[in-house]
Structure 1
């Protein structure tokens, strides 16, 4: 990669970082409640992947177990997560999303998607086509 291309890639990366961060903040603002990003993420992981121990959840979220303990305590206090004894290891517990937690996640997603759909509807047909082609690329970047 020559220096001109390298500079263009760095510039694009900076613009993309700023735009994605700004969009992420705007979407979080649509949630309308007091969950932190960490709490929302932990709750969503439990809903998506099913029951798991606090240690497994911490590993999934790439945080230290004491941090996850605080996150789980807050979610449990809000009745969004419930714990029950581990089926094979009496020293552990298993966490699961409650009905209230699932309802909260659904409402979050509905509000965010409605806001974003309104913004996308304001784009031209050509802009929507570009965005449609960009989504798989953004997904690939987010997974790498």
Structure 2
């Protein structure tokens, strides 16, 4: 008997959540929170930004982002510089240490997952390749 969309949605939600938590356990030397790591990847992808712009992109409140940025600055992962046109603002940019942390975290996550995939039968890897396409398409459907 085929699984219903409702049952499958529940099973997928739980499985994907567990998978993401396990993958996130692989991180670089700095042992950052996922929120902190998200800020680093946002800066890597988008270039320097104000804390307010980062907060908007990461969907958190500005005071929370200020604390996150300050913690990352203390760790040397980001640099805060004067805004070029508004002295009341600062701009946050990724430091070289932040770039290395993103690269190392991604390398460790990819290595962990590649090892797990090597342990699977070829047929299961083919199923996952197809599932990847389906999940990518689902994610791009919008809200």
Q: State TM-score, norm by structure 2.
A: 0.91
1:21 aligns with 2:17: yes
State the Cα distance separating 1:142 from its structure 2 match.
Answer: 3.3
1:133 aligns with 2:133: no
The residue aligned with 1:12 is 8
The residue aligned with 1:113 is 110
- In structure 2, distance between residues paired with 1:39 and 1:78: 11
Unpaired segments ≥5 residues, structure 2: none
- In structure 2, distance between residues paired with 1:64 and 1:136: 33
Q: How many residues align?
A: 139
The residue aligned with 1:48 is 45
Unpaired segments ≥5 residues, structure 1: none
Q: State TM-score, norm by structure 1.
A: 0.90
The residue aligned with 2:62 is 65
After superposition, the CA RMSD in angstroms is 1.5
Q: Which has the higher helix share?
A: 1
